[in-house]
Amino acid sequence: MNLLDHVPAAPAGRAGDRGRAVVQALHALVRAEAAAEAPAAGTEAADLEQAVWLRLLERGTASAVPADPVRWVRAAVRAEARTARRRTRRERSYTADGPPGDWAGCPERIAVGADERRALRAAVGRLPGRCPRLLEAMLAPHDPTYREIAGELGMSQGSLGPMRSRCLGCLRRMLAAEVVAPELRGKER
């Protein structure tokens, strides 16, 4: 005698009642097996349960009732747990400090970066006095040292730091003025 012996045989037109009876009969067993396998699989028991019910539904209405339901449920839960373990090993979670995936070669990222660099260089060119030459030297792709920048600009190395601070402050104020203030949201009073 197995779990489904007490399930009433449905008339020919009432296959849905038979399916509901199968679900009711197997519900406790599926829940218990999923709860037992879930911790080792690194997933939630409800996810395993759902996968097993999906497997049962994929069998079709004609063969919805397995010949040995207890063995079938155990095998299905263990197969889904193996799948979940493999998926857990393969998948990597998003990092909290950066964008998901490898965006280094993304065309959109390249275009946005180029646009930002153009806007920055244009703003640097509008700075007063010796600031444009100083910041252009600091933004050079070969990453020069303070000694090289001082030699290039003909100034003392000790005055680069304070001048850089004044130029960056001026650049911040200039860029802050160019940023559009956010519009009011909701009702205006």
pLDDT in single tens digits along all 189 residues of the chain = 344 444 444 444 455 666 677 778 889 999 999 999 999 888 899 999 999 988 888 876 555 667 788 898 999 999 999 999 888 888 776 666 655 556 667 788 888 888 888 888 899 999 999 999 999 988 888 888 889 999 989 989 899 889 999 999 999 888 887 765 566 666 655
Number of H helices, E strands in the chain: 7, 0
* Structure-token pair, residue 72: 């079938």
Model pLDDT, residue 77: 93
pTM above 0.75, yes or no: no
SS3 98: coil
The DSSP element (H or E) to which 81 belongs, if any, is helix 69-90
Q: What number of CA atoms fall less than 13 Å from residue 63's CA on the CB side?
A: 7
CA distances (Å), origin 52, targets 4, 69, 91, 97, 146:
17, 12, 22, 36, 66
pLDDT of residue 40: 87
pLDDT recorded at residue 35: 93
Rg over CA atoms, the chain = 34
Q: How far apart are CA 4 and CA 125, in angstroms?
A: 81
Rama region for 42: left / alpha / beta (φ>0; ψ in -120 to 50; rest): left
User: What pLDDT, on a 0 to 100 scale, did the predictor assign at position 47?
Assistant: 92
